[in-house]
Amino acid sequence: MRFFPIWRRNFLVWKKLAFASIIGNIAEPLITLVAFGYGLGSLLQSVNGIPYIQFLASGSICMSIMMAASFESLYSAFSRMHVQKTWDALLNAPLALDDVVLAEMLWAASKSLFSGIAILLVIFMLGIGLHPHTLVVLPLMFLIGMTFASIGLIMNAVARGYDFFTYYFTLVLTPMIFLSGVYYPTTQLPPWLQLISKLLPLGAAVNLVRPLILGEWPPTPLADVAVLVVYCVVGFYIATIFTRRRLLK
């Protein structure tokens, strides 16, 4: 539990700007939900028998969590590690580097959970997801946040500056959004891209969350959870190794 004081420190700092932070994290998915859900939804009434606004809302939650966890584990973690030198101060305490990386990962997941809950409340106001299945979404949101936080910390360990993160968002996260069924069913993709989609963490997240928001059970829950867990565990392990090498240089 040595990571907890670090997590608490990040939480106390964030709490001062909590409202602005949450608004900032939910603004983009909320705008997307309203613009595409009602704009495109007026032309595309349903997808596989599901009203398009509901189809999009259930995917937007996963996208919001991915973005919130990624921003925190990239820009904020990089600032604490290099600009503010917070990590240097922490490592002068009786803490190991693994404790710091674990705390950063869990904090990014926690922050993404706050954003996910905010989006969930918004779609409740739209009359979407008002059933018991949605309760299962909460622990899944935290797992999704941990997964993308772990991957983000790998990028944080190899980045030489803030500009590096633009490549990650442009070349990794953006294509993942379009391949993971957020805006349209992955069945519209070629078979080989459908296979890739199933192996992507965002694709697994959407496959788990969307049915639950719609009041159904995921068709392949064990496989999708396994994809997220593998990315999370392997990502955290690699992030720890790369961060140690980075700080020892």
The mean pLDDT value for 207-217 works out to: 94
What count of other Cβ atoms lies within 10 Å of the Cβ of residue 43? 7
Whole-angstrom CA distances from 135 to 39, 146, 157 are 29, 18, 35
Cβ neighbours of residue 78 closer than 8 Å, sequence gap 6 or more: 156, 159, 162, 165
What is the structure's pLDDT at 37? 67
Number of H helices, E strands in the chain: 12, 2
Reported as a single tens digit per residue, the pLDDT across 20-42 is: 777 776 777 777 777 776 776 66
Mean pLDDT taken over the chain = 89
115, 199 in Cβ contact below 8 A?
no
For the record, the structure tokens of 139 come out as 């622990």
In the chain, % of residues over pLDDT 90? 56
Q: Indicate if the pLDDT at residue 84 is higher than 90.
A: no
Q: Which amino acid is it at 66?
A: M
Residues written for the chain: 249
152, 74 in Cβ contact below 8 A?
yes
Residue 122: which pLDDT band, with cuts at 50, 70 and 90?
A: confident
What is the structure's pLDDT at 144? 97
In the chain, % of residues over pLDDT 70? 97
Q: List residues bridging with 50 in a β-sheet.
A: 47
Reported as a single tens digit per residue, the pLDDT across 40-55 is: 666 677 777 888 888 8
What is the β-pairing status of strands 50-51 and 46-47? antiparallel
Q: Indicate if the pLDDT at residue 19 is higher than 80.
A: no
**Among the listed residues 247, 230, 249, the one whose alpha carbon sits nearest the alpha carbon of residue 78:** 247
Reported as a single tens digit per residue, the pLDDT across 172-184 is: 999 999 999 998 8
